[in-house]
Structure formats: structure tokens, C-alpha cells
């Protein structure tokens, strides 16, 4: 399939009660059928997708498919936060004749084994300096990739360790008697199944535990290279 031409993200009309205004959908599609548009994106950026239930989305897709001219290619906006729901909605749209789908990149959780990364990046710095530098770098990384980032350090009860706060970054210290390695693996366990998780560590035990829980693993060196790109 070759996509070419103009595919506008169509609006979703509502009636005074907040329901989909079906007659207006029909009117709009029949009007646009007389243009040279190549097709329509339904539930795209201007389709109020986030305001509609899954069934309302399907109603809208069905209405457009029913009234669209045969030469108009239909694209469904099916992306939601849940990977499973995205797949389900995409399959339902395909059953109605939609030839392509617009989806979101699934939200990714990145969990960083703090000192494992910082000791490689700044081996001559003090532990406090390593924490500060790594957190600053992770904030920049989070702003660039727009994903959830958690960094785990040893030592909540160690004297001299002051709380760290950075916007967009979750910073976790292990409790007394608990190793950060265990906290990293626990962080993976408590994530929803449909949220992809990447663990950053070169510690073999952490790598093994994370992989058992279904996470992908990047070594500290690989992650530092990624952050510096």
C-alpha cells in the first residue's frame, strides 16, 4: 500500500447532549467525498479521541466507513496508553475496512541503577557529586525522550545523604538493610504488564533479575553513550 495525497484528521461533531452527531458526520463525509482528498484520518489529532470511549470510537469509525466514497482510503487513530487496547482497537478498525492506523509509541519506563552508572561516568567524583551529575543528566534525557525515568541509589539511612529532587525524575533511595539492586528489580515487578521497561545496569544480578521480570536491559556504558548522543 502506498500512501500519497492529503488525509485530513477529521473532526468529531457532537450534539447538545454530548453524543456523536451522526447526521453531521454523514453530512461532512458526503461533502468531503466530492473533493480531491485521498482519504480521511478518523480519531486523529482533531477527532477528540481522548474524550471518547472505545465504543464511541468504533461508532465513529463505522459511520465514516459507511459513508466514505470507495476511492477514499481510511486511516484510524487507534493509539492509547495501553498497548493491548491499542492492538484491540486497531483490529476492530481493520474489520471495518480501515487500511492503516496511527498509533502512539508506547510509554516506556526506564529504571537506572544509580551508582552503577555514575561510578562509570565519573569515577573520580565523590558519591554526592556522582548523584548530582547523574540526576542532572537524567533530567535532560527525560526531557529529550519524554518517558518515565526512575533512578535508584543505595543509602537512605547513610549520614550525609540529602534528599534529591528533580522535575520529571523519580529518585529512590534504598531503605536501611536493603540493597539498591533489589529495589531496581522490585521497581520492574510493580509496573503494569503492558508498560515496556528498560533497566540500566551492568550488574549481572540486576540484569538477570530484570530479565526474569520481562524487562529489557541496557548496560551502563550503552546508556551513557545514548545519553551523550
Please tell me whether residues 119 and 207 are part of one structural domain: yes
Please check whether residue 11 is in contact with residue 31, taking contact to mean a CB–CB distance below 8 angstroms: no
Domain boundary pick from 102, 132, 148: 102
In a domain? residue 155? yes
φ and ψ of 132, to 5 deg: -60, -45
Rounded-to-integer distance, Cα 63 and Cα 75, Å: 13
Angle made by CA atoms 201, 204, 209, in degrees to the nearest 5: 85
User: To the nearest whole number, what is the mean pLDDT of the chain?
Assistant: 90
Could you tell me the pLDDT band of residue 137, with boundaries at 50, 70 and 90?
Answer: very high
Rounded-to-integer distance, Cα 211 and Cα 199, Å: 9
Domain boundary pick from 69, 102, 135: 102
C-alpha cell at 184: 531496581
* pLDDT over 80 at 12, yes or no: yes
> Domain holding 131: CATH number?
3.40.50
Please tell me whether residues 29 and 96 are part of one structural domain: yes
* pLDDT over 80 at 106, yes or no: no
Could you tell me the pLDDT band of residue 155, with boundaries at 50, 70 and 90?
Answer: confident
DSSP secondary structure string, 1-39? ----S---B----B-TTSSB-HHHHHHHHHHHTTS---E
Please tell me whether residues 50 and 133 are part of one structural domain: no
In a domain? residue 3? no
Q: What percent of the chain has pLDDT over 70?
A: 95
In a domain? residue 142? yes
Of the ranges 63-72, 101-110, 143-152, which is most confident? 63-72
Question: The cell 533530567 sits on which residue?
Answer: 139
Rounded-to-integer distance, Cα 9 and Cα 131, Å: 45
Please tell me whether residues 56 and 165 are part of one structural domain: no
What is the domain count for the chain? 2
In a domain? residue 16? no
Q: How many residues does the chain have?
A: 229
Please tell me whether residues 118 and 48 are part of one structural domain: no
Rounded-to-integer distance, Cα 11 and Cα 77, Å: 12
C-alpha cell at 132: 548530582
Domain boundary pick from 44, 67, 102: 102
* Predicted pLDDT of residue 178: 85
pLDDT one-digit tens code per residue, 40-64: 999 987 888 888 999 999 999 999 9
In a domain? residue 5? no
Q: Catalogue the E-assigned strands of the chain.
A: 39-42, 73-77, 100-102, 109-113, 148-153, 170-173, 197-200, 216-218
Please tell me whether residues 118 and 223 are part of one structural domain: yes
Please tell me whether residues 207 and 137 are part of one structural domain: yes
Could you tell me the pLDDT band of residue 95, with boundaries at 50, 70 and 90?
Answer: very high
In a domain? residue 15? no
SS3 218: strand
* Adjacency order of strands within the sheet including 197-200: 170-173, 148-153, 109-113, 197-200, 216-218
* Predicted pLDDT of residue 161: 56
In a domain? residue 11? no
Please tell me whether residues 162 and 121 are part of one structural domain: yes
pLDDT one-digit tens code per residue, 175-212: 877 888 999 999 999 887 778 899 999 999 999 999 99
Please tell me whether residues 57 and 135 are part of one structural domain: no
In a domain? residue 14? no
* Predicted pLDDT of residue 191: 83
Could you tell me the pLDDT band of residue 222, with boundaries at 50, 70 and 90?
Answer: very high
Please check whether residue 178 is in contact with residue 153, taking contact to mean a CB–CB distance below 8 angstroms: no
Q: Which residues form the domain of 64?
A: 22-102
Please tell me whether residues 82 and 132 are part of one structural domain: no
Enter the pTM of the model: 0.57
Please tell me whether residues 132 and 31 are part of one structural domain: no
Rounded-to-integer distance, Cα 153 and Cα 130, Å: 11
Could you tell me the pLDDT band of residue 115, with boundaries at 50, 70 and 90?
Answer: very high
Please check whether residue 227 is in contact with residue 209, taking contact to mean a CB–CB distance below 8 angstroms: no
* pLDDT over 80 at 213, yes or no: yes
Amino acid at each position: 500500500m502506498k500512501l500519497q495525497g492529503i488525509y485530513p484528521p477529521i473532526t468529531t461533531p457532537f450534539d447538545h447532549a454530548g453524543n456523536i452527531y451522526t447526521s453531521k458526520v454523514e453530512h461532512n463525509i458526503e461533502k468531503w467525498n466530492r473533493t480531491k482528498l485521498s482519504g480521511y484520518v478518523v480519531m486523529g489529532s482533531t477527532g477528540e479521541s481522548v474524550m471518547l470511549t472505545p465504543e464511541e470510537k468504533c461508532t465513529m469509525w463505522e459511520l465514516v466507513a459507511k459513508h466514505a466514497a470507495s476511492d477514499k482510503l481510511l486511516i484510524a487513530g487507534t493509539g492509547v496508553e495501553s498497548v493491548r487496547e491499542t492492538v484491540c482497537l486497531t483490529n476492530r478498525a481493520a474489520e471495518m475496512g480501515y487500511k492503516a492506523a496511527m498509533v502512539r509509541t508506547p510509554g516506556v519506563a526506564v529504571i537506572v541503577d544509580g551508582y552503577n552508572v555514575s561510578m562509570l561516568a565519573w569515577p573520580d567524583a565523590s558519591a554526592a557529586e556522582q548523584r548530582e551529575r547523574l540526576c542532572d543528566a537524567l533530567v535532560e534525557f527525560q526531557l529529550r525522550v519524554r518517558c518515565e525515568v526512575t533512578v535508584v541509589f543505595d543509602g537512605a539511612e547513610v549520614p550525609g545523604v540529602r534528599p534529591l529532587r528533580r522535575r520529571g525524575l523519580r529518585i529512590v533511595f534504598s531503605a536501611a538493610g536493603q540493597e539498591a539492586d533489589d529495589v531496581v528489580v522490585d521497581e520492574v515487578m510493580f509496573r503494569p504488564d503492558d508498560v515496556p521497561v528498560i533497566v540500566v545496569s551492568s550488574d549481572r544480578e540486576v540484569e538477570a533479575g530484570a530479565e526474569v521480570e520481562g524487562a529489557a536491559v541496557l548496560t551502563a556504558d550503552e546508556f551513557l553513550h545514548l545519553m551523550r548522543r
